[in-house]
Amino acid sequence: MRTCLPLCLSLLSAVLLPCGGLDVSDICTHCSCQYLASAHLTETICTADHPVLEVNCTTKPSVRQNPNQFLNAPTTSNASVVVWLSYKHAGLTSLHPFAQFSSYNVTLLSLDHNKLVYIPPRGLTALKNLHTVTASHNDINSVAPDAFKGLKHLRYVDLSFNSLHLLDFKLVLDAVNLISLNLRNNLVKTVIAPESPINTLESLDLSVNKIPDFPLLFFSSFPKLIYLNISYNELGTLPADSFHDLSKLKVLDASGIQVSALDRKVVENLKALNRLYLSENFLSEATFVEVLPALTALDLRRNNLTTLGDKLLSSSLQRLVISHNRLTDLSHVFKVFNQLKSLDAGWNPSTQFPEHVRAGLQELILDGTQLRSWPAQRPGEGGIDHLSLSHIPGITALGPYAFSGILKNKNESGKCVFLKISNTSLSTIDEDAFTDIDICKLDLSHNQLRWVPESLLRWDTLVAVDLQHNPWHCDCALQWMLSTVVPLAYRTDQQLLAELRCASPPELAGDRLVHWYNHKERVLCGPTKHDAMLTPKARTVEDGPLPQLVVTVSSSPLMIAVLLCLSIVAAMLVILAFALQRRALRNRKMRRNRRF
């Protein structure tokens, strides 16, 4: 890389020579030009033969550009410079002929965020070396069948977020090297299959359209597909031979296509599939997983699942999302999928914690369930490092060793534990609840906690702790929080202090604990909490490179009386001074009048 970069820079300098090198005055006087020769790009796009010139025709060229900044560079030709051409946000309503760029090696054209409605026949022919065309976020409702005629090197086409109603694959007939086609967020209702297979296409996105069905054996025209997204269309069903020839497919997204059942014949030929997304459908069972030997991730959120059965369906699945279903019993999950590392089963009407959490499970999310307690796990059985139990009103207390055998203990290697228990009815935590648990991130926000024991954790070792939105009772028993938790949050993330407030006693209600940050006295341990508030408090706030001293004075009846007396005295002195000044002016005027 070190030897390539100077060579790249010398070649880039050549294009700015007024004579003997590449003359870019015809485009760089109308468009903003920038040479991409940074070190992180060197290995991929900056070679001895192909420096990259980024041309932005939305903005005007910089008047400070110095064409003589590289005077001793070798010459190069137009064709040796790779040009990336951008018309983003240029307000285009129609395509330019691009004739002025015909002699340049333009490989990327961006037409995003314009007002284009039509791509005409051979509209891009002048840019014969194009690899990538993006025209997303326009109003394109029609593309001529030969719009990309002559573009033999075209690999990536993005026409997402437009208004296309018809998809005819004749438009990419000449793109013999096409790898990716993105038509997301259009209005496509009709799809016409290609006349011959497109053997190079690896990624096809037809999501968020209005497609009711696909032609017979449509996907067989793309035997090399690796990624397919047909989500949020109006399909309703998937015929048994839909994906018959997609033996290389690794990712399939069929979320929101309104299917109520998925026959295993539909997916039985997808032997390489490792990620399957079927969220927001009407599925009531998942036995089709049995014929997907390579599947590692499955998303079935927002379906109609009531049970997963008790038969082993997959030994390869590692991540399962089954949230927002109708599952009342989660005890069989680890029998059905015995190699799970991540399980999101939140927002199901389940009332019981899974009986035995498998040792390999690392992430467990049970938010929004109806849990009230969980059985004691065998010590060492669980190794979870991410547990979320939020939005569960039934959680009111955590007893001793509450997570023994569930969360990863301190003797195990790997990541430390992130525990989230928020938006519950939790009001009591035993001091041994987290014993031997290696917690480094803790979220206990939005609960009913008035106090937690200092011995609960080694608070100074936490990476982050959120205790906001609890009705804290600020007395001497909570003084330790001012000394430990507040400084920790102040150093790591000050947003975690915004709503860390006292709820009682009444004289402290609503006060933020950061109010006493860096206070040397034990302000919550005075003779009374009221006396603590009467004492002027000084705290140091680290704001920028230099600390500032902020003094906060609290009110009391005695102090109010003193301030009132001082105010009256000050007012009388002002009135007296005003009277004396008027008298002095009157005397001076009388002396002046005597002279005459």
- 224-248: pLDDT as tens digits: 999 999 999 999 999 999 999 999 9
Six-digit token pair at 485?
């938790």
User: Does residue 133 lie within any of the structural domains?
Assistant: yes
Match 């005055």 to its residue by tokens: 25
Instruction: Return the pLDDT at 451.
Output: 95
> 580: pLDDT confidence band, cut at 50, 70 and 90?
confident
Between 596 and 211, whose confidence is greater? Answer: 211
Residue 381 lies in a domain: yes
- Does residue 11 fall inside a structural domain? no
Contact, 101 vs 27, CB < 8 A?
A: yes
Torsion angles phi and psi, residue 560, rounded to 5: -65, -40
Q: Is the pLDDT of residue 16 over 50?
A: no
- Strand runs (DSSP E) across 306-366, as ranges? 319-321, 342-344, 363-365
Strands 132-134, 156-158: pairing kind: parallel
Residue 482 placed within a domain: yes
- When pLDDT is averaged across residues 36-55 and rounded to a whole number, the result is 54
Give the largest CA-CA distance in the chain: 123
Low-confidence winner among 86-95, 98-107, 195-204, 340-349 (lowest mean pLDDT): 98-107
Alpha-carbon span 427 to 170, nearest angstrom: 66
pLDDT classification of 82: cutoffs 50, 70, 90: confident
* Domain CATH number, residue 405: 3.80.10.10
Mode of pairing for the β-strands spanning 251-253 and 547-552: unpaired
DSSP string across 409-461 = BTTS-S--EEEE--SS---EE-TTTTTTB-EEEEE--SS--S---GGGS-GGG
| pLDDT score recorded for residue 31 | 84
pLDDT over 60 (residue 38): no
Gap between the Cα atoms of 205 and 317, Å rounded: 25
CA distance readout (Å), 587 to 574, 575, 577, 578, 582: 20, 19, 15, 15, 9
At residue 25, the pLDDT reads: 58
Q: Which of 524, 559, 578 is the last residue of a domain?
A: 524
Q: What is the pLDDT of residue 489?
A: 92
pLDDT > 70: percent of the chain? 80
Nearby residues of 320 by Cβ (< 8 Å), 6 or more positions away? 297, 298, 300, 333, 337, 340, 342, 343, 344
Please indicate, yes or no, if residue 130 is contained in any of the structural domains: yes
pLDDT of residue 121: 92
Q: What is the mean pLDDT of residues 251-267?
A: 96
Q: Is the pLDDT of residue 80 over 60?
A: yes
Q: 134: domain range?
A: 26-38+48-63+79-211
Query: Does this model's pTM top 0.85?
Result: no
Q: What is the pLDDT of residue 531?
A: 46
In a domain, 407, yes or no: yes
Q: How many domains does the chain have?
A: 2
pLDDT digits (tens, 9 = 90+) for 137-189: 999 999 998 999 889 999 999 999 999 999 999 888 778 899 999 999 999 99
Domain boundary among 182, 211, 240: 211
Tell me what the mean pLDDT of segment 334-348 comes to: 93
Decide if 420 is inside a domain. Answer: yes
Q: Residue 494 falls within a domain, yes or no?
A: yes
Of 180, 211, 242, the position where a domain reaches its end is 211
Say what the pLDDT of residue 527 is: 58
